[in-house]
Structure 1
């Protein structure tokens, strides 16, 4: 269950917890420190984040998701990786022989999705296992 600490990830977690409970599955709370952010800065803004910075932020997201899963009575473990999120998510799912990935979507469509891109969209296209996507309104799709 990838997380980026967003409300979209929280929506997905609620659905993912229900699935994990039904399947008696362990929740792998995967957070990826996005190394793309280590190259960004804005004029007059803060300097780019370091790999350690993004990993530290990701660790907080993973720990929060584990806390929520355990509060729901589920077995869970925090996993932190650094890299390109979609690639790391698909690679991790393959490495642990996951049964599925449950993740949120930001609700972008059309031109915005094409220009901005979507981690979820990339995971759906590259993951070695089924991907359950949860829309911002809480509805579920399976890919």
Structure 2
């Protein structure tokens, strides 16, 4: 496969901000972006930002598909080739596994800016991806700055 960048999304503004950075990199690399949305089957009550919680796996897939499709449309509007990928399961694991499956060049994803006790209790999908992904992960902070991990 050619140059590929995975841009995970959970429908949040953090994911959208990271996507903008990912789109810029993809343009410079001539890369295809794979917009990956994962419906978290363990936390369905948290899986739909801004709406009622999904009640079934199909609901999760529908919401995740909407998130991914919206970002893919934005990528294509910027002249990029984009693929929509939707999975259900544990987000960090699915993101890392997908990167290995397609031999991606990198992952670009946002962070929510949590720290301290809140991060310890809520956890961080981004942190888990940084620790387990088989490819470089570029993280985009809420203020738009980036960290290479």
Determine if the TM-score, normalized by the shorter chain, exceeds 0.5.
Answer: yes
Computing the radius of gyration from Cα coordinates, the structure with the larger value is 1
Unpaired runs of 5+ in structure 1?
A: 41-45
Aligned to 1:18: 24
Size of the aligned set, in residue pairs, is 138
Contact map agreement 1:30 1:79 (CA 8 A) in 2: yes
* Normalised TM-score (structure 2): 0.88
Give, in whole Å, the separation in 2 of the partners of 1:127 and 1:47: 28
Contact map agreement 2:45 2:53 (CA 8 A) in 1: no
Pairs within 5 Å for 1:47-86: 49-86=55-92
* Normalised TM-score (structure 1): 0.92
Give, in whole Å, the separation in 1 of the partners of 2:14 and 2:120: 19
1:98 and 2:104 matched: yes
Give, in whole Å, the separation in 1 of the partners of 2:38 and 2:24: 23
Pairwise CA RMSD of aligned residues?
A: 1.5
Residues 57 and 39 of structure 1, relative CA distance in 2, 3 Å threshold:
closer
Give, in whole Å, the separation in 2 of the partners of 1:137 and 1:95: 31
